[in-house]
Structure 1
Amino acid sequence: MTRSPATPLPPPKARRRLRETAALTQTQLADRVGVTPGTVRAWESGRTTPRGRKREAYAKLLKTLAEEETARQARQEQEEQAKRNQEREQKQAQAQKQDQEAPREPELKPEPEPEPKPEPVALTPAQAFDALYAFSAPALVRQTFLLTGRREQARESVERAFQAAWERWPEVARDRDPVGWVRATAYEYALSPWQRLRPRHRHPEPPPADPGDRTLLNTLLRLPPRHRRTLVLYDGVGLDLPETAAETEASTPATANRLLRAREAVAGRLPALADPQVLHRRLAELASNERLRAAEPPTVRRGGERRARFWTRAAIAFTVALIGTTALTVRTAPTHYEPPVSPGQAVRGVPQRVAPGALSDEELELRQKLRDQLQDGPERLSPRLE
């Protein structure tokens, strides 16, 4: 039984545009599909992709919204065309009326046409990527340092995130919040549990010089990763609660619960940071006091391209080796089964074969008795009176 292919979906930006054009909120669309508003935010931001029945319902709803938008645009174009035709006719009628009523005036010299304004120069993909990296990379490195407490790991996480963005640059460039896309990727890489298995993670880095910064960093690192990420996004970066929930792929109530628990844990060890404004200022100071530098944009782009070429060549080599191994196995494999012949082995200590000897008188008598009974049958027993 074959499975039908999944229904195609428009890009995340087009999904958001169709919903906004139809004047629907994320909550209303979530009710129509049967999911939570946080799931709709994750679909529209491209963090997750719908599957199964939810995907079919979501695709059908988006198709309906697209058809309604097309019909609406067609009506608007017809109305605008009719309005332009009406205005043109009115202007022609007014011009004819003015020509008939007004006296003829001396001809005036035509005024020189204004010079056209120079069009903005379009940036190449590499220039746009370099501009995005130069604008957001230093701040992202400082924010990632608050999550990991490791300077080199924070820098590497941001570089890997930008390399992933360069591989998917057409999608990231059209995203409404490209910095958020890179930030979410960097946070996922920095908080991956596989980081603990790296040899570099076994060697601790020198803590901050200031005792207050050191205490605050240790308090942050004691929080669970989800609570720590929520606290950094809300109180450190300054996102609002729905945006924080969408980036962490959680519902708004769950995100609010994580934020409250993280604030309680921080305030339990540092009572002076119970005020959210003070906590925001201290997080900014902690990230700014560390001298964290990001690599140059061309270096990051070239590193991503080298990594992509390496994995592509590795995949090709693995595929070629697999094909060669399969062909060799098919070539050398036997066409039928032949049981193996066991090697000969000398057997020692086996007793000689001995024939049966002559029967004794008792054995001969017993044999004769058995033969007579089998031929005549056993004696019949009859009842007797006693």
Structure 2
Amino acid sequence: MGKVLIIGAGGVGTVVAHKVAQNPDVFTEIVLASRTKSKCDTIAKAIDCNRIKTAQVDADNVEELVKLFNEHKPDIVINVALPYQDLTIMDACLACGVNYLDTANYEPVDEAKFEYKWQWAYQERFKDAGLTAILGCGFDPGVSGVYTAYAAKHYFKEMQYLDIVDCNAGDHGKAFATNFNPEINIREVTQKGKYYENGKWIYTEPHEIHKALTYPNIGPKESYVIYHEELESLVKNYPTLKRARFWMTFGQEYLTHLRVIQNIGMARIDPIIYNGMEIVPIQFLKAVLPNPGELGENYVGETSIGCRIKGIGKDGKEMTYYVYNNCSHHAAYLETGAQGVSYTTGVPAMIGAMMFLKGLWKKPGVFNVEEFDPDPFMEQLNKQGLPWHEVFNEDLEV
């Protein structure tokens, strides 16, 4: 049906490669590229699929990307590299007439700022080129937006309160490790909190708002309001929302490590001079922390991510709705060699590309996932390893 080019060979790239290889009726040709080609070769060997070609590319370099795209001529690029590289990859897609999908919005290297404005600015260029760009197609952002669109389509006349709840109740046995790129992860969870209420954004200190929320099959876990990028697009696309928040669980030991890292300056993203060399502290820290892609083998427990929504139902009565997925770290590892956080991001990225190649999510311009029909995506979640569950009209803890 189509040719896909995956950029990124970390934990998420590993899962994406496994999942596209499992769907040969859709992905007839596969190219896996990264700054380090040997990582791609290792993944391809583990999958044992002769349809996977590998390549080396510096995703910061538009010329290298253009050369790669022109050589392989993919129908769509799945970008699971770093968020700093979104714009260079989008530029190369425009130059070569290639469609685009990512899992995280662009952020500048020198500022931990999550906004879609940089990518939304590409709307007319992609539209004029007749190309599709699908933004934020991981789990959150990604499935969280599809869940919301599904609720709006099938159950709600007016969605008023949205709480995205993200719990990782897994244990990898390490004193401190991040579940995806440490640099991105630490930047994300140490910034100020932000949520939407009554038409404006409310800012909080990091981890200021927290409470214990109960997660299915897991139980109560202390959950913290942080800012997450899908809130920006969801409140834009669903103007009836009176409040939208994002909650994430953190253990006390994790937060203690995080505070120490910040207090001693290791979370800094500005360069310093050390022994006559310029280094960025958080990038050095990344080099010494455990590799997220190698946490899977001893990871136990599961994740639970979902949307808790309150509002007016199609029948005009007040209703609540909770849709979620629980994912086992061990099951994810047995299938793909990666842990559950990588799995829950990589599977939806593959499904988004599948939606495009099937012509179901294909229209010129730049779009967030909730702007497409959620039904075929929701159907594939059940088939591809992320089954979802619904709870109606129970008292939602938020």
Q: Shorter-normalised TM-score: what interval?
A: under 0.3
Structure number with higher helix proportion: 1
Q: Which has the larger radius of gyration?
A: 1
- TM-score w.r.t. the length of structure 2 is 0.21
If asked which structure has higher relative contact order (CA below 8 Å, sep 6+), I would say 2
Structure number with higher strand proportion: 2
